[in-house]
Chain A
Amino acid sequence: MKRHQSFLLHIRPQTFDAESVCFANTYYLGFFSVFFLVLECVTGAVLMVYYVPTPEAAYESIVRLGTEVAFGAMIRDLHRLGGECMIVVLLLHMLRIFIAGSYRGQFAFTWVTGVLLLVCTLGLAFSGYLLPWDQLAYWAVTIGTSMVDTIPGIGVDLAILLRGGLEFGEDGLLRFYLLHIVVLPLLALVLLSVHYYRVARLHGIAPPLSPKSPTDREKEKRRLFPDRLLLDLTLSMSTLAVLVVVVTAFYDAPLEHHADPRHTPAHTRAPWFFLWLQGALKLGDSFAMGVVFPLLSLLGLLVLPYLDRRPRQPLRQRPLALPLLVAGLLLFAGLSVLGLPRYGVDVNPVAALLEEVAPEEGRSALRSLRFDTLRQGVYEIDGPFRAQSDDDFALWLARLGQATARLGRHGYAEPRCVVVVEDWQAELKRVTVRIHWLDGSEVRQPTSAEKVIYLHRATVEPVVSGKESGA
């Protein structure tokens, strides 16, 4: 074999076993993990050009990506979506290895590095979650780190070390930023190097447990250059093309209002990959569920190959594996469902209705109405509302009337709703939604709750200069 002088040519072997690069054997899940890691590094490097890691400037710098930087929104969407895809691919990768049983013997330590890579990736996702410094980020990460507080003895000090104080501020943001761009990526790089070295040079891909003897064709070697490299390129570019289409048409990285430590949002929802933890926290003590349970699960995954030492067998011949797998998946799914906000604290129905009419974050039916249909006036919805005309606003009022009437079922006597629309400034309207009802069981007290929403034409129907706005 010719000896290469260049380090670059040593990173990947010159040839691979045919069966280790067969799609049906691996689904290229390892390849896709690395693809997403590279995508995250490249898009992350671009984002670093614009991002400022201080509480004063972080949010504004993310806004600027959308409003001033060409392709800034696309890069941010790709970074966010890429990260989520990476977690999916890693989980599938681990699942495949578990089902194939190829984590034993010489593969054991490779499995351990793989599990640590998953932890590293979740750490990257968690630390990156804080960086936009919006309400979503701030409160999810505040809750996430508050679990550290519950560790007896060292918990509070550890949390202060992590957050840079009793609550997140300048120091905490910088720490998470450095974790996200330096510490965790470096750690991931080292772990990945070990992981890949073992797979590519030490033991290869565990061959499929097929009873038929390997044919000569399967024993063939495949060259890295040019075949495999071209295939890698093809897969990368096609996947990127799919991602670009997805972020163009379907996916927008969320950005809520600026983080406000004084204002707890109506809903705090963990990202989907931590929903299981949010669900577990609802079941019991924060320390048991938030610290011990995840650490025990991690420990279980790490020691799995050292407990299970029998030779490799297909899944159906391993009596414990299948129930364990099903139980694990069911637990993950069940806890995730439990983590959804709908299994949260019961809010009173009036507050829930007002939050639905005028949510703190995101779009609502009111915001999708055409601006000019919101005519100035006082609209009293008492009982079934008869729309004067059939435009969107009248329909919206009618629906609000129905929702108000439903409050009667929750013990709100004589609920009615008043909507006031005022022309507040040029291109700015103020909408007040007020719910009235009679409170108390013996002495009926007129009570009301209201919410004020300001609507600017530009947020409802943004106009591009040089183009006529829609008729």
Chain B
Amino acid sequence: MIQRAMLGAVASAALLAASLVPIVSGEAERLQRDAASRAGAVIEQGAMLYGLHCRTCHGSRGEGVGQLGPALGDGHFFTKRSQEVGWQSTLREYVVSTTSHGRLMGTRPIYAGNGTTAVMPPWHEDHGGMLRSDEIAAIADFVLNWQATATGKVELKALSLPEQNPQDPRTISRGEQVFEKHCLRCHGAANGAASGPAGPPLANIATLGNGRREGMTAQEYIRESILIPAAYRREGYADPGKGQDCGAVLTESELAAVIAFLSR
């Protein structure tokens, strides 16, 4: 009886050992295969995310778009970019970091054109973006996968932006929207019906502003006041230096539109 039980135990131990043979012998290879497959899957995911979030500014194939974003698929990016921006770590870290945090306005380079460029926004969910760390890592892996085929340097051309006509009712209407969004809180309604708490009413600024600053038209005066609020101060109102940084939040076309609206 006991012999039979012992025999059974030994036989089952042998069976267990035998069942482990294929997995033990193939495990090193399986790890390599799964790691390779995983790396590929991450690049696929990165490609998908790039197509959703990055393509509009950096181009479908990483060719860059003038005034929006630099090329990521050219040789220049892989050889010179780190030096250009004084980045000390690896290029992958550079991509991950820039994608996560975005780019501060003061450090943003200008990519071809008339002095304006879009801002790289932060993408990581910790910094107000919408992507997780692993998604940003996947995008970085996808971008770095261009290295194999990257050559030369893409020269970006300025985008031809349509001229804004200040008389155009569409420009004025857009300016009104900008005013309501950004100016209304301090300056009150544009018709002067109710003065804002912090800033003077702007109902007649088109005539009042003309010549208020020496040698400036009303439009130039409004532009200066928006960009440098402290340049001219009216008595009895809050210190503009403490107010909103009005100009910093507007794009060039928003600025032109709101000036057109105020000087209509």
Contact = CB atoms under 8 A, between A and B. Distances in A.
Interface string B1-30: 110011011011101101110110001111
Given A68-B35, A73-B34, A462-B37, A452 B2 contact: no
A194 B15 CA distance: 34
B16 A237 contact: yes
Contact of A426 (B33, B39, B51, B145): B145
Interface in B18-60: 18-20, 22-23, 27-41, 43-45, 47-48, 51
B107 interface: no
B37 A244 contact: no
Across the A-B interface, give the 7 residue pairs with the lowest CB-CB distance, nearest first.
A458-B40, A456-B40, A426-B148, A237-B12, A230-B5, A459-B40, A241-B19
A264 B8 CA distance: 52
B31 A452 contact: no
Given A67-B38, A462-B37, A465-B32, A240 B16 contact: yes
DSSP majority for the A interface?
helix
A231 interface: yes
Contacts of B245: none
A413 B29 CA distance: 51
A71 interface: yes
DSSP majority for the B interface?
helix
Interface in A231-286: 231, 233-238, 240-242, 244-245, 248, 257-258, 262
Contact of A226 (B5, B39, B146): B5
A244 B19 contact: yes
A446 interface: no
Give the interface size class of chain A. Answer: 35 or more
Contacts of A237: 9, 12-13, 15-16
Nearest to B18: A241
A67 B6 contact: no
A425 B145 contact: yes
Interface in A426-471: 426-428, 430, 452, 454-460, 462-465, 467
B251 to A, nearest CB: 28
Contacts of A244: 16, 19-20, 23
Contacts of B48: 452, 454
A459 B42 CA distance: 9
Nearest to A452: B51
A74 B8 contact: no
Contacts of B29: 464, 467
